[in-house]
Structure 1
Amino acid sequence: MSYFRDGIVWLNDPLNWTNPGGLLDRLQEHLVITFWAVLIACVVGLPLGIWLGHRGRGGGLVVTVANLTRAIPTLALLTILPLTAIGFGKLPVILALAVFAVPPLLANAYVGLRSVDPETKEAAIGMGLSGGQLLRSVELPLSVPYLAAGLRTAVVQVVATATLATLVNGGGLGTIISAGFGLGISRGGAQIVAGGIAVVLLALLAEGLFAGIERLVTPRPLRSARRRRRGRAATTA
């Protein structure tokens, strides 16, 4: 418990936040890494998942890609990529984390499009909507909750895993932890705990923020339908 108390004291010291290489600098690096990794994953995962879900094909491909990317250890990618022409720094971290963030975005986009009621789609087609209009006006709006849930999962995973960026000189909050280990447990224990607390709080903040966004973008009728489904599932269980 003394290390935890010392970690809180470390966090309450303004100099540990404002000094060069302090928490504010490392937090900014962490957020930049997270932003670019999630953005790249969105550019890759969302269009592919939406396209496959709209066509109603490729379910096996989605499962395969999701499983393969989950099976690749992020630490292994962080070890291999810096040894290529990419080199050390933030870029290999961003690319490795982008690979890690693709599965939830891809899978949720596909499931969201496939979960749209077939009768609703048939009615829209009967009204004369083309394939593109059906996607834009019916399928995408109804799949927004799934897209938002995939984004929330990807962001939280990347925020937590970006701590490993310090292993390849990529910066981030993990640098605070590794620097504490460099001092030894007796001298750096408070810093290690403080860095861990900062990562946990940032992940929880991201979870709460994107959970709120998910709720805001989910239309009220869909929220009620999801609650009813959860209630039936709980009753069945």
Structure 2
Amino acid sequence: MTQTRTVLVVEDDPTINQALTDRFAAEGFTVARAVDGPGALAEAERHTPDVVVLDLMLPGLDGLEVCRRLQAQRPVPILMLTAKTDETDILVGLAAGADDYVTKPFRMREVVARVQALLRRVERATELAGSSLPLLEVGVLQIDRGARRVRVDGGEVHLTPLEFDLLTALAERPGTVRGRDDLMTQVWGWADAHGTRTLDSHVKALRAKIGADRVRTVHGVGYALEGGQ
């Protein structure tokens, strides 16, 4: 990043909180930190972070409620940390406004890489805002890349920034199967074995918003966007 970014670390485990704080500081970030839900909201108001690393299980207010309140006040990219591995819990977190997630125990470099990817996505969106890129249309799907808006059969659908980028990547080659590594590289900025479950969870979240039959799974390979009505 060309300028100093502020990350808000919200984690009630003091060891993990300190480790994240030290790592982000070493990476050149300005770090704000909190150990509970109310503290997270107060620190977000005080520091206006560029990105938030948010534990799901917090005292005071849980991570889901903190996520909802943060996004209602000012949209900000949020990386959710969770010890829960059940996909339903993860999808609830994404629906609450988290952009991405990492399950515990996690690798520190993966957390940093995902935060950097979220920030790059925000920068790209800012650069493209108001641009006159042609609309992408696949069946009843219409994707306005400049305004970052999606319509399905005429009705607008709200997508997170990451969901928007995933849909756009699929829509650039409709009907073509995109491999998991290919999608991870384009949308997240890297690909490894740990990313496939993340991709699958985001595809399920995307399907819930645009229609389950519009994203076809090719087992062992990847996904394709279909143009059906």
| Higher RCO structure (Cα 8 Å, ≥6 apart) | 1
Q: Which has the higher helix share?
A: 1
Q: Which has the higher strand share?
A: 2
Q: What is the TM-score with the length of structure 1 in the denominator?
A: 0.29
Q: Tell me which structure has the larger Cα radius of gyration.
A: 1
Q: What is the TM-score with the length of structure 2 in the denominator?
A: 0.30
